[in-house]
Every structure is written in C-alpha cells, then in structure tokens.
Amino acid sequence: GYRAHAATTGDFSHAATTGDLSHAAATGDFSHAATTGCGAHAVTIGSGANASVMGGKSVAVALGVQSRAKAALGSWIVLAEWGLDKEQGWHIIRVKSAKVDGNKIKPDTFYELRKGRFVEYVR
C-alpha cells in the first residue's frame, strides 16, 4: 500500500513493496529488492544482488559486488563498481548514477557498472 516498507536480511532474501512512496531493502548475497509505484525506492547491499523499481520518479540502488539495477523510464539507477587487490581486498572503486532515458539507459533492463560504464546485464 501507500508508503509501504519491507526489509530483509540474509543471503538469498527478498523484499517487495507495492504503492507510491514505498521502500524495499534487502541485505545479503544474491538478495532482491523490488518496488512498484511512483517515488518508490529499492536498495540492495550484497554480492550479486538486484534492485528493481517499476514506477516513475523512483530509484533503484545496488551497491554490492557484481550487483544489478533496473528502473522504469524517468527513474534512476545507482550502482557501485568494486575492485579486488591484495592490500585492500574488495573495495569500492566508484559509485555512479544515471537516469533511465530510454536511449543511453533502457527501461526495465538490468545494468551493471563495469570500468565506469553502465553495461546491460546479459545472462
């Protein structure tokens, strides 16, 4: 419903909400967060996690290693790119956001951040 919230923790966890101004958050490897409705937000933290928003004026944020995000036209995606080295182990190299405009970033398409660029995720 309107302004609904869902949060989960643990590997392979799922959080989903429906309604304007709703929020879904999931932490854990291979977790998923999804929302529908205008002004909604989905956030994931964990390796291989997915964030998805299906309403306008929304934000999908995926900050884990090899995470993916997708959003509706007019919404935003935010992704982190990670690196691995002997001194620091896994560490964030950069975080980048983009508006889903239908040209450079397609709606309802999962993206990953690689070498500073948004790349369509292909299974």
Q: For residue 10, how many other CB atoms are within 10 A of its CB?
A: 12
Judged against a pLDDT cut of 80, whether residue 46 lies above it is answered with yes
Question: What predicted TM-score, i.e. pTM, was given to this entire model?
Answer: 0.93
Per-residue pLDDT at 3: 87
pLDDT digits (tens, 9 = 90+) for 70-119: 999 999 999 999 999 999 899 999 999 999 999 999 999 999 999 999 99
pLDDT digits (tens, 9 = 90+) for 56-68: 999 999 999 999 9
Which amino acid would we find at residue 107? P
